[in-house]
Amino acid sequence: MASESLSPAAWLLRLAGVLLLGLALLSAAFRAPQRSLESLVERWAPPPSDFMELGPQLLHYRDEGPRSDPLPLLMLHGSASSLHSWDAWATALSAQGRRVVRLDLPGFGLSGPAASGNYGDAAYLELLTQLLQRLDLGRVILVGQGLGAQLAWQLGLQQPERVAGLVLLNAGAREFRPEAAPLVFTLARLPGAGWLAEGLLPRRLIEQALREVYGQPARLHPATVERYFELSLREGNRSALVDFLDQRRSPLDLAPLSALRVPTLILWGARDRLLPIEDGQTLAQAIPGSRLIPLNQLGHLPQEEDGPASLAAVADFLHTLKP
């Protein structure tokens, strides 16, 4: 029998049908609707979690340990993470009598999108200054990983009288390296990513991204994947990540660090494929008097991958810092 002959219009209609079917199947397979803040609080913000309003910005934070500690620690997480990144450190340090304050930076965790829509350093630093004032924190030790480390050293430059010491972990690349970045970050930079991401999110994509930033992927627990996945579903967080990455395309300028006069310890997971140990060496050279400790078996998230080992590398340094 002769093959069916279709007009160009019929071919276009058939192609459109196939594309629509493909989109429908994709949506069914990876549909991940947004979750309200209220639906996530019970699981991810039990006591001692609390919320405060700093101007128009809602902020999820935890304040643990004795208020009498004369030198509290303020912990700042990295991109696409949350205050839970510091669970192991916070538990151990508060048990040792240290006051530990940590927060979900705007755009991430339960704090949700930045009310201003601004994800630049100046906006984050202003919010951190407000937080220090609200909690009546005097001098603090700033602990940061990735994005949090970048903010920590900038606050040390801006307000050295407030900062008694810096602990910087895998502290941010000088420029975005798309060949090394987890796929989820690369996809989030594509045009239209915000619209698409609001309804779709393969859980497998989150797991793969975490495996790529662990030095030893076998250490990754299913509970950690679940946490990252669920917090990414918080209403507005996925479009906030797209905005965050879009606003932070410029390479970091390390030149101002030559003026930093705050005691600084740099920890670096040496198996970090996103930010290689050479970045840590460059950072150590840029900060006068700083010390770099490689963590040879760990990756981009040392405090999560092996909390006890990464914290042990900090113990002596913390003891040298005086109120």
Residue 5, in any domain of the structure: no
Encode pLDDT of 69-114 as tens digits. Answer: 999 999 999 999 999 999 999 999 999 999 999 999 999 999 999 9
| Radius of gyration, alpha carbons of the chain | 22
Q: 127 in the Ramachandran plot: left (φ > 0), alpha (ψ -120 to 50) or beta?
A: alpha
Residue 24, in any domain of the structure: no
Q: Please enumerate in sequence order all residues whose Cβ is within 8 A of that of 146, keeping only pairs 6 or more positions apart, or say none.
A: 77, 78, 79, 81, 169, 170, 171, 172, 275, 300
Question: Residue 104's pLDDT is what?
Answer: 98
Residue 180, in any domain of the structure: yes
Residue 17, in any domain of the structure: no
Q: Are strands 57-64 and 264-269 parallel, antiparallel or unpaired?
A: unpaired
Average pLDDT over residues 132-142: 97
Encode pLDDT of 25-53 as tens digits. Answer: 444 444 578 999 999 999 999 999 999 99
DSSP state letters, 184-222:
HHHHHTSTTHHHHHTTB--HHHHHHHHHHH-SSGGG--H
Residue 133, in any domain of the structure: yes
CA 31, 32, 36, 42 torsion-angle sign? positive
* Measured CA distances, 74 to 146, 157, 262, 306 (Å): 15, 16, 15, 20
Residue 313, in any domain of the structure: yes
Question: Residue 15's pLDDT is what?
Answer: 55
Residue 171, in any domain of the structure: yes
Residue 316, in any domain of the structure: yes
Q: Do 317 and 293 form a contact (C-beta atoms < 8 A)? A: no
Q: Do 301 and 78 form a contact (C-beta atoms < 8 A)? A: yes
Question: Residue 322's pLDDT is what?
Answer: 81
Q: Where would I find the beta strands (DSSP E) of the chain?
A: 49-54, 57-64, 73-76, 100-103, 140-145, 163-169, 264-269, 291-295
How many domains, the chain? 1
Question: Residue 3's pLDDT is what?
Answer: 43
Can you state the angle between helices 222-232 and 237-247, rounded to 10 degrees?
A: 90
Q: Do 122 and 247 form a contact (C-beta atoms < 8 A)? A: no
Calculate the CA 136 to chain-centre distance.
Answer: 25
Q: In angstroms, rounded to a whole number, what is the distance separating the alpha carbons of residues 79 and 145? A: 9
- Domain range holding 190? 37-320
CATH of the domain at 132: 3.40.50.1820
Question: Residue 175's pLDDT is what?
Answer: 58
- Calculate the average pLDDT of the chain: 87
pLDDT at 252 over 90: no
Calculate the CA 304 to chain-centre distance.
Answer: 12
Give the tokens for residue 107.
């755009």
**Structure pTM?**
0.86
Position 12 confidence tier, pLDDT thresholds 50, 70, 90: low
Which amino acid makes up residue 174? R
Question: Residue 31's pLDDT is what?
Answer: 57
